[in-house]
Amino acid sequence: MLGKNQIHTADQIHTEDPHQDRTEDQEEEEVNRLKSQLADKEKENALLREEIKTYQASHPLTHTTPTQAHYQLTPETISNCSVPEYFKYCTGFNYDEFNKLCAFFRIPSTATDTQTLSPVTYHKVDQQINLMPLRQQFLLVLMKLRQNFDLIKLAFKFQVPERTVSTLFNSWIDFMYGRLGNMSIWPHRDSITENMPDNYRAEFPTTFAILDGTEIKIEKPTSLLLQSQTYSNYKSANTLKCLIACDPRGAIIFVSTLYPGSISDQEIFRQCGIKDLLKGLLQCGYLKAGDGLMVDKGFLIEKDVKELGLNLNIPPFAKSNSQMPATDVEMTKKIAKHRVHVERAIAKVKKFKMVSGRIPNVRLGNINQVWFVVCMLSNFQPNIIKA
């Protein structure tokens, strides 16, 4: 602290303490020194940018464009993660199968393919969707179908708004439904015969389809009428019911629309359009008169099938108060042994958790499309039975 006799003006201090002052030459020298350091740093940054470009060019899987940088969850990050088979857990497919699906749906089939115009017509204009690569959009859809992740969880994983996830999923389901629905999935009888398992061919050489019904549970409707129509005595719950046909290897070759759970197997066979399909297959030679279908005892459709000129392989019914003959017992065992293939095919479909749990009412608007899509996607997985 300065004493009373030590107070000085600024001019006096400047004059009396020359070491605190800098000449103009010294100041200029300092500025030049800082400019030189800045130039060196700029050169160093330029070299680092070149190194980054070189590294990205030699490691294309890790290269991300500015629009991709926000979407850290990619097919490649999941495929390269340290958790075994995590890609299959998330989607139901391994990485190679995923890439083949991408090719089928006409989107880039590898991480390095050029981004194409989107084949999907989106329900709403959403800039976030436009910025999101198609492979990642497809990954999101498969993760929703397979694991039924909540929309908010997918929004977090892909760093997009929740409304974007909803728009993207519903739009893709419509696109996939149209693409898969245009496929001809019932093979020619010669193709089915060629790929039949040997033990099946030995016992049922001209039976080309195995039919069964399945049900998916739904949330209890608010309408009393719908509650009654959808109530299934078999499941003791409100359900939707579907008819499925598979070939002897377990590949699905027919999927009906979903009907209220109270409908009988016989009635669903008559209403779902399979009779018209079978007529068309007979007319074009994909089936021949006398070829067979295989069903369980619940399908009382023998008359309908015979009217078409086809045969029905159904387990024999036991007569009241009498023991079933040995031949009927043997036939029952044979049919049960092979009919299990359609049950396994249905079980494979229901591994897509979006259709294995209770379907909420808000999802019923496009549940038919979702159901058909997961049924068809199961055909892109390995066959249940090898020829």
91-104 pLDDT, tens per residue?
A: 999 999 999 999 99
What pLDDT, on the 0 to 100 scale, is given for residue 146? 97
Do 75 and 135 form a contact (C-beta atoms < 8 A)? Answer: yes
Do 296 and 315 form a contact (C-beta atoms < 8 A)? Answer: yes
Do 205 and 334 form a contact (C-beta atoms < 8 A)? Answer: no
Separation CA 172–CA 291 (nearest Å) = 38
Q: 324 vs 24, which has greater pLDDT? A: 324
What pLDDT, on the 0 to 100 scale, is given for residue 15? 45
What pLDDT, on the 0 to 100 scale, is given for residue 328? 83
How many C-beta atoms surround the C-beta of residue 384 within 10 A?
Answer: 19
Separation CA 237–CA 40 (nearest Å) = 75
Do 248 and 384 form a contact (C-beta atoms < 8 A)? Answer: no
The residue to which tokens 């020298």 are assigned: 29
206-254 pLDDT, tens per residue?
A: 999 999 999 999 999 999 999 999 999 999 999 999 999 999 999 999 9
Mean pLDDT of 372-384: 94
From the options 3.40.309.10, 3.40.50.300, 3.30.420.10, 3.40.50.360, give the CATH code of 189-378.
3.30.420.10
Work out the pLDDT band at 38, boundaries 50, 70, 90.
confident
What pLDDT, on the 0 to 100 scale, is given for residue 322? 75
What pLDDT, on the 0 to 100 scale, is given for residue 62? 40
Work out the pLDDT band at 314, boundaries 50, 70, 90.
very high
DSSP reduced 3-state for 138:
helix
Residue 294: φ, ψ to 5°: -120, 130
Work out the pLDDT band at 387, boundaries 50, 70, 90.
low
The two tokens of residue 118 are: 């989107």
108-157 pLDDT, tens per residue?
A: 999 888 877 889 999 988 888 988 999 999 999 999 999 999 999 999 99
Mean pLDDT of 38-48: 74
Inform me whether the pLDDT recorded for 317 exceeds 90.
no
Inform me whether the pLDDT recorded for 68 exceeds 90.
no
Per-domain boundaries in the chain:
75-181, 189-378
* Structural Rg of the chain based on CA atoms: 34
Work out the pLDDT band at 6, boundaries 50, 70, 90.
very low
Average pLDDT, the chain: 87
Do 146 and 110 form a contact (C-beta atoms < 8 A)? Answer: no
Inform me whether the pLDDT recorded for 55 exceeds 60.
no
Residue 56: φ, ψ to 5°: -65, -35
CA-based diameter of the chain, in Å? Answer: 133
Q: 158 vs 4, which has greater pLDDT? A: 158
Separation CA 192–CA 254 (nearest Å) = 14
Helix, strand, coil fractions of the chain, as percent rounded to 5: 50, 10, 40
